[in-house]
Amino acid sequence: MTTAAPDLLHLRAAGVSLVLDVSGDLLPRVLHWGADLGDVPQTELDALRRASVPQVAGSSFDQPAALTVVPEASAGWLGTPGISGHRAGADFTTALRTAGPEAVTVGAGERPGSQRVTVRAEDVAAALALTVDIELTAAGVVRSRSSVTSTASADRAPYTLSSLDVSLPVPTEADEILDFTGRWIRERSAQRKPFTYGTHVREVRKSRGLDASFLVAAGRTGFGYRSGEVWAVHVAWSGNSRVVAEKVMNGARQLAAGELLMPGEIILAAGETYTSPWVHGSYGDGLDEVSGRFHTDLRARPQHPSVANGRPERPVLINVWEAVYFDHRLDKLKALADEAAAIGVERYVLDDGWFRHRRDDKAGLGDWFVDEGVWPDGLSPLVDHVHGLGMQFGLWFEPEMVNPDSDLARAHPEWILRPGDRLPLEARWQQVLDLGHPEAYDYVLGRVDAIISEYGVDYVKWDFNRDVVEAGHSTTGQAGVHEQTLALYRLMDELRRRHPGLEIESCSSGGGRVDLGILERTDRVWASDCIDALERQSIEAGTGLLVPPELMGSHIGSPHCHTTGRRHDLSFRAGTAFFSHLGIEWDLTSASDEDKAQLARWIGLHKQHRGLLHTGTVVRADHPQPTTWVHGVVSTEQDEAIFAVVQLGTGPDEYPGRVRLPGLDPARQYRVTPIDPADAMGTRSGAARLSWWDEGVQLSGRTLDRVGVQGPTQNPEHLVLLHVVAV
């Protein structure tokens, strides 16, 4: 970081500059967030500050409005405020002001190599104190959060906080918005719109988001993966959240984000503090650079599941859900383990159905005791068999939920989140346990801990299968999503403290809880309950903008997809799951010997290359044909890469044309050859193979990026892997 003056801060990292104006008594203003400005002298930064002040327009305030990191009407901002609340109707607006140079401190942030600026401000009249933390990580990701404290005397009304958001301004060039929507088995579908006047708001009001915005990005119209400036934000929070993309009449644009608070959820008595979640912002020339910053930032964490942090390579797993559902028979489950171990699987996961009264999804949630009727000797016969085959053992839980038809709900109806005396509408025949209730929290922690301890569970699939609505504490009636989320974090943190080697997967009807808050304490996300390889192409493309491959679970399903009814050949299914944290969800006891032999080859190939796949840079090509999707991973040394050329459907042309392979060193020579573990590189139509496939072709990185290689015929739902090695 360079500091041009005590009131003008220039933070730099990984090709990003963040220039903060902390002059005067206003909260910080962002003068620039974007491309690195270099080692700018003080005189130029001072000039930038002067050059950034707009004229006073007619019929406006007598001084220019200031868009601060927590925007306020008292500074002239008349868009969405950064902080809102009141004291019994009074103190409905704020004028948070700093008190001289001592209000600003600069130092190291939480992330390794990150830089932090902390600014403290106060509104004496409203009796509020605010602390704003702004970090620039070594990866060039901006992180910010705020804390507000009531400094009122005990005889004043408490402060009801309605919102506390962080604002990151974006420039005039950001004239298009990209965000995501979705539903069950079709998560993270991209949508675009012009960045017009007004407010574009995306909210999560149910504590999870199959339809959540995930990322909200603003950039130059038509920005793609490889070009076009983009600014994107993400709320690192697993409860309710809000992201605002807003353009006001003076032309200013902001991306603002934070927790979405329910009415009366945060009421601050004298001396009490609320801290917002971290909001992460990433800038880049194209979405690949935005995504790469998020990936690099996650991989720099000391707890990241990587070889560099002393963890093993990501184990190939089998999840038995679609193989057996609730039909738990020891002989079948052991046979599945035998088949999985024989083809190279390293982790075995027993899914829903092992606990009391759980013969379908209508009963038993909360009764976290092994069902004696199904498992008369407990889980030990299966666990011992799995461990004896050299595999880890994983187990499914849904700790936050309860079926009304359960011993737990009948014994403790007061432990259910509810708005007063009535219950919320049931979803999937279940309600939500109030983890903010100390006794409920202790029960869940005790039971999950006991099962993990008794059976030496290595891995927990942590599910979360209903929306949290009308979530009130049963004892107070006050909204409880905020406290529920914090209690969830404490629960996971404590289980990992007690079981240091434990890995946890975040699942929520598939991809309903994928965020950087949950990823601080989990090792994998389940991107979707849909294992259809065609649907997975778009689901994983969206998820992968934030989540690196090693944290994204992707499974090879059965030939007949259980959620969509489609059928795909094994090479398409396996090639789709190949890049991520690989798994299998298929009744292997019904698979043919030929399929199992091919599966073993795919698993062996994945193990051979997972060091590259799970540490390299993810790249995507902007191919003009929407039916052709090209993505890959390039090693950090740029000496090796693997690409997938995927035909999503039939195109208007016989061929997709040449497909470009980006991200390589333009000055180096590379040999490109197909990878064909299925020995099926010929086309399904019987057309001739591409002439260069047998021996490969040698081209420079520049030529591969700017010209490319001819793609295969546009047979729908077809995938080819290309191995690229420097020569």
Positions at the binding site for substrate: 184, 351-352, 428, 461-465, 507, 529
Distances (CA, A) of 233 to 221, 538, 726: 18, 20, 36
d(C-alpha 49, C-alpha 492), whole Å: 45
State the number of CA atoms in the 13 A half-sphere of 669 facing the CB.
Answer: 4
Please say if 529 is a catalytic residue. Answer: yes
What does the H/E/C string look like for 441-458? HHHHHHHHHHHHHHHCCC
Q: Which residues contact 13 (CB under 8 A, 6 or more apart)?
A: 113, 114, 115, 136, 137, 138, 139, 140
Catalytic residue, candidates 175, 288, 367, 529: 529
Distances (CA, A) of 35 to 115, 283, 528: 17, 8, 34
Please say if 463 is a catalytic residue. Answer: yes
Of 312, 368, 213, 318, which Cα lies nearest the Cα of 582?
318
539 token code pair:
């689901």
Quote the radius of gyration of the chain (alpha carbons, Å).
Answer: 27
d(C-alpha 515, C-alpha 518), whole Å: 6
Residue 156: which H helix or E strand, with range? none
State the number of CA atoms in the 13 A half-sphere of 680 facing the CB.
Answer: 17
* Structure-derived torsion over alpha carbons of residues 578, 580, 586, 588, reported in degrees to the nearest 10: 60
DSSP state of 555: E
d(C-alpha 166, C-alpha 68), whole Å: 9
Residue 57 backbone phi and psi in degrees, to 5: -80, 160
Of 606, 596, 594, 577, which Cα lies nearest the Cα of 675?
606
d(C-alpha 309, C-alpha 523), whole Å: 13
Residue 672: which H helix or E strand, with range? strand 669-675
Burial of residue 484 (number of CB atoms within 10 Å: 0-12, 13-18, 19+) = buried
Of 35, 62, 28, which Cα lies nearest the Cα of 144?
28
Residue 160's region, left for phi above 0, alpha for psi from -120 to 50, else beta, is: beta
Rounded to a whole number of angstroms, the distance between the first and last alpha carbons of the chain is 39
Helix ranges (DSSP H) in 591-690: 593-613
DSSP E strands in 109-249: the ranges are 115-123, 128-136, 142-150, 159-164, 166-170, 176-183, 186-194, 198-204, 216-219, 229-235, 241-247
Instruction: Write the single-letter amino acid at 415.
Output: W
Residue count (the chain)? 727
d(C-alpha 345, C-alpha 600), whole Å: 9
**Sign of the alpha-carbon torsion through 30, 136, 175, 244:** negative
DSSP state of 276: P
d(C-alpha 678, C-alpha 114), whole Å: 46
Catalytic residue, candidates 371, 463, 515, 705: 463
d(C-alpha 32, C-alpha 10), whole Å: 9
679 token code pair:
């020995």
Residue 100: which H helix or E strand, with range? none
181 forms beta bridges with 189
Catalytic residues: 463, 529
